[in-house]
Chain A
Amino acid sequence: MQPSLERTDPDRFRRLLALGTLLTISACAGVMSEDSRFAGPASIPGASRVGDVACESCHPAESAAFGQTAHARVSSNRLVDGERCESCHGEGSRHVQLQGRRDQIRRFGASTEPAAIEAPIAIVGYRDLEPFARSRASGFCLDCHSGAALFEWPASGHERAGLSCVDCHDPMRPATKLLRAPVTELCASCHSEIRAKLQLPSHHPVEEGRVRCVDCHDPHGSSIAALVRAPSSLELCLGCHSEKAGPFLFEHPPVTESCALCHEPHGTVSDFLTREPDPFLCLGCHAGHQGPLSPLTDVLLNASKRATFLSRCTACHSSIHGTDLASPSGHGRFTR
């Protein structure tokens, strides 16, 4: 099949125009609606603040753990000294009066329609959040955590999958970055098939502790797919494998596009993290050698060339990532 030679799609601008119009309408509609994304915990009707000391009297373990977190050391408009618990959980006087009745703990972001409220609210909890409440909970965190590291969260795959900050971080847990588990275990708890790949014979040494998931992926968002921690996947790989960066006089085109065209970075059965073993990976794009090279070589090698040409292409094309040296024939065949 011949590839299309058209560089631009004639309908492209019409599609973009329609898209822009739709977004503009949505944005206007959004501006006119309530500011739901960054809403904090709802105020508890009829309740007032009681202070951290009152909370600690019934929740000593939680208070002790929280005291070792970064949140216990920060002062801000939201995290007020002496009232840190109620900064996120709402005013606690009714919760104290009711002696912590569990049926009056409302999940953060739960529907506020009267019919949906199961019981009078005494305090706000953050466990088992409803699907849409999860993104609102993230918005609550983003009110303070507004640095550049979180710029892309609203467009991230994790946010689109319905995850929120509290799925991975526990504000009450005295651990590095408030993580609920060590980072590799945390990622593997959802991406179990990726962890399986990391056990395969050829793999990046994540299980060995040499590389972490977050060295390559930014769970808080990225401008490209797979939460890659770089503006492009190629840049990510070349950050460590800079010897393959080039530019080379003789370039192997896929190397300048994406390493993932040939490599599965988590793990594979074949060597060098290649998606298929050599030579079948190469035969996916190249027709390879066919027919006799010359009458002489045909006579000499017909019996043995099968094994040769169906062994590893990279045994001969060893500089497959690119080279400045020409092959003996003068062409760039990556043989040196």
Chain B
Amino acid sequence: MKQKTRIKYYNEVVLAGVFLALFIAFSIISPSFLTLKNTMTLLSQMVELGVLTLGMAATMISGGMDLSLGTLCSMCTVTLSIFIGTNAWGEGTAMLLTLIIALVCGAFNGFMIGYLNIQSMLVTLGTQSLFKGIGLVVSNGLPIKIPTEKFALWGRVRLWGFLPFQVIVYAAAIAVTILIFNYTITGRRIYLVGSNTEVARFAGINIKKSIFLTYVFSAFMAFVASLTYTSKVSCGRADLAEALILKTVCASVFGGVSTLGGIGNIAGAVLGVAVITIISNGLDMMNASVYFQQIVIGGLLLLVLAFRHGKKK
């Protein structure tokens, strides 16, 4: 039993070690890295990727993959900006309406995947294009501005002068997700559905409902990410978060979440996000090109995987 727990958290310990090593290495190499300002920047850079990764990790644990997360988040930034900027409605109303839109989109995904039993990648490939299309049509393909004095809380307010509010949002999202997936029956059911659908069926689990809820949850995370993103850039655009989607897969896999479902840990995915963000932030500080960062992240991903799978054999 003891040995099992050690293997269970082996991956997370390694990742935390990698993160610490990178943190120390960058602090020594670059004098501007280990400052309060940059540390806070580093934290706030994690937020959108991190929140979306929580949704992605959830769907991957359930045995699927939500490719529509990025465009759903972008679509939410567009609707938020239209409600607050163009229509000048209250922030509460705008957020509530956007939340409803996001949940409906998530429910659509969940219905198609859970109740109609269609492969998640097929469905979300379609809705990915659909959500982007809706965002583009609604916004006429233009970025929609919000007056800078409005909607500042989620992405631009710093508590006590240094702590970005969005970091607290991220922390809350992590806490809720870990709570759901590690300590509630619904969360453990999703794990079982992901690892073995047949066994889950024999155990009397309502598989359809579990999968449905997973996609509603990931849509909720897309909504949360859209709050901080819209506020941070003060505008909404239909392709804002699209490029993040492959990074969320990258971070989840990095953190030990298997694409085959049932395996992985939310904490691991969070650490995966941290490692990816610190690599790009640290290399930024050293004036390395963005393309070099891409090579490093891609190479590291393959190395980690080769190591992990090689060991299994």
Q: Do the two chains bind?
A: no
Instruction: Spell out A's residues near B (CB within 8 Å).
Output: none
